């Protein structure tokens, strides 16, 4: 009951006219960002983060999270109408969404995608509502060793659950740690990796790095591809909405399965993209119409969208309770909280109750408002793709430059944004993942501080990380995940040898 009363207080904060206006503006901007290939939730939040510096933290986070909800909705529009995934997690939606559009069922596909997105997000928000306070109370017992164990588990998850090369993931993460270590050492007070530049005394500004890596890097990649948009037209009429909603109750188990998969992948953190593919694969395997998947099956749209939104939303749970982001967008939001002087973690539920519950209440409202907006304004959002990319790209670059400059009112940050932009472009071209770098850049300082505090308290004894069942269990799980790719390789070779021997 305590959570319910706190949530009602949060609704009182979220539904003020000013916050509702910011919510609508954020969702509209987010849908536009989601519609445009080359941008995404993390990019949009990073680019528009400077706009919130003059706002109260609660209003700012409501707007930024609404941008995220909008981007989650917007990716489905291009995937279904144009066969262009507006977001990485929308790739699986194209498998059945675009064939439905080509068969004249674009309206049903869009209604199914938007509704399932709403269901997945609300399921995750309910999970956050009831689990977050429990995890926060439990985490109040954590010391430096426990916090480092959780942070280590987060880094190890990217190695063990990543889709790409573990070596590239590790290299990306190590570069992030190196960038995070630039500046003044918080323990000894010595300078590290500044090379005589006074601008680097406080290290690399997280916001500048993220705007460059995501915003400028993606624009450079998109310019090289020479994007042009062609696709189907769609208008959503009420009869199409009702017709589609009548079919959805038959997919209850698909909804539930995808919600569970998405929440698990969001918390661990696996991410929305693997969650969408996993949701699609499980639906294809267990559905009665599995053979029709890929030909325009509504269930093939519902499953990945539900899983992706559940994952994207539940990624905020570890960020709020432990200060550990579960996705790149959560990492950007974490950076915003730190800029506003807020420290995510268990103490925030005690010291900043109004902020936390206002944010959770805005998740309910934001997804509801987002569903209404996308159902009524699909033609408008789809028309954005008719604007030439040669006009859109320079506008985005200018917004990025203004955002980077406003961090410290210094041109140095604009130049650094461009450097990070080239780095982001090269990472994309060479197949190196950006999320591990961003995660290490955000959490590098905290992980180093927790590790050094734990070692100082134990006088250099590494076994402090196995001093109790909680810390030891988390560290052991982290080690298993860190070396899981190696274990998988050994098992595959052993199985291959075992099969070949009898022959």
* Domain-wise residue ranges, the chain: 1-491
Residues (pLDDT < 70) of the chain are 1-3, 36-43, 82-89, 160-164, 186-187, 206-207, 214, 222, 225-240, 268-271, 273, 326, 378-389, 392, 403, 407, 496-503
Alpha-carbon span 283 to 303, nearest angstrom: 6
Cα–Cα distance for residue pair 46/68, rounded to 1 Å: 11
**Apex CA 349: angle with CA 50 and CA 329, to 5°?**
35
- For 276-292, the pLDDT digits (tens) are 877 887 888 787 877 77
Res 503: pLDDT:
47
* Angle value at C-alpha 200, between 40 and 49, nearest 5 degrees: 25
Distance CA 486, CA 503 (A): 27
CB neighbourhood size of 495 (10 A): 10
pLDDT score, position 144: 83
pLDDT of residue 156: 81
Q: What are phi and psi of 191, to 5 degrees?
A: -90, 145
Cα–Cα dist 66/361, whole Å:
12
Q: How far is Cα 65 from Cα 361, in angstroms, rounded to an integer?
A: 11
Residue 390 has a CB neighbour count (10 Å cut-off) of: 10
* Spatial separation of the C-alpha atoms in residues 63 and 398, rounded to whole Å: 21
**pLDDT number for residue 269:** 56
| 183: three-class secondary structure by DSSP | strand
d(CA 275, CA 312): 9
Q: Which residues pair with 191 in a beta bridge?
A: 184
- DSSP state letter for 228: -
Terminal-residue alpha carbon distance, the chain = 64
């Amino acid at each position: 009951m305590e959570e319910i009363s706190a949530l009602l207080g949060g609704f009182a904060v979220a539904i003020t006219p000013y916050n509702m206006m910011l919510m609508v503006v954020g969702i509209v901007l987010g849908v536009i960002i989601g519609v445009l290939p080359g941008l995404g939730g993390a990019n949009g939040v990073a680019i528009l983060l400077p706009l919130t510096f003059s706002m109260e933290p609660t209003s700012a986070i409501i707007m930024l999270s609404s941008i995220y909800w909008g981007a989650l909705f917007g990716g489905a529009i291009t995937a279904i109408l144009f066969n262009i995934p507006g977001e990485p997690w929308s790739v699986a939606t194209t498998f059945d969404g675009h064939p439905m559009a080509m068969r004249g069922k674009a309206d049903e596909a869009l209604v199914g995608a938007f509704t399932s997105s709403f269901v997945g997000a609300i399921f995750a928000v309910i999970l956050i509502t009831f689990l977050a306070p429990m995890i926060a109370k439990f985490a109040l017992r954590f010391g430096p060793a426990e916090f480092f164990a959780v942070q280590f588990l987060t880094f190890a998850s990217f190695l063990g659950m990543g889709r790409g090369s573990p070596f590239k993931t590790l290299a990306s993460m190590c570069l992030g740690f190196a960038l995070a270590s630039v500046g003044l050492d918080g323990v000894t007070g010595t300078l590290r990796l500044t090379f005589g530049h006074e601008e680097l005394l406080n290290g690399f500004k997280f916001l500048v790095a993220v705007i460059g890596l995501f915003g400028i890097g993606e624009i450079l990649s998109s310019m090289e591809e020479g994007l042009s948009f062609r696709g189907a037209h769609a208008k959503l009429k009420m009869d199409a909405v009702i017709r589609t909603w009548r079919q959805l109750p038959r997919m209850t188990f698909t909804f539930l399965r995808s919600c569970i998969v998405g929440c698990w992948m969001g918390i661990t953190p696996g991410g929305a993209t693997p969650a969408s593919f996993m949701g699609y694969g499980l639906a294809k395997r267990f559905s009665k119409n599995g053979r029709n998947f890929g030909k325009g099956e509504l269930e093939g749209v519902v499953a990945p969208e539900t899983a992706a939104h559940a994952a994207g939303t539940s990624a905020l749970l570890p960020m709020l309770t432990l200060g550990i982001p579960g996705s790149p967008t959560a990492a950007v939001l974490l950076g915003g909280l730190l800029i506003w002087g807020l420290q995510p973690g268990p103490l925030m539920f005690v010291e900043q109750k109004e902020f936390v519950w206002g944010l959770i209440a805005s998740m309910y409202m934001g997804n509801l408002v987002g569903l209404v907006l996308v159902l009524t304004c699909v033609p408008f959002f789809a028309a954005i793709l008719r604007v030439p990319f040669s006009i859109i790209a320079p506008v985005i670059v200018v917004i990025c430059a203004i955002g980077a400059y406003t961090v410290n009112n210094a041109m140095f940050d604009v130049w650094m944004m461009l450097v990070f932009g080239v780095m982001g472009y090269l990472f994309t071209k060479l197949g190196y993942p950006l999320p591990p770098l961003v995660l290490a850049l955000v959490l590098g300082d905290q992980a180093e501080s927790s590790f050094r505090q734990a070692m100082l308290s134990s006088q250099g004894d590494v076994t402090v990380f196995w001093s109790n069942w909680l810390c030891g269990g988390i560290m052991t799980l982290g080690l298993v995940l860190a070396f899981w790719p190696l274990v998988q390789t050994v098992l595959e070779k052993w199985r291959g040898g075992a099969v070949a021997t009898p022959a």
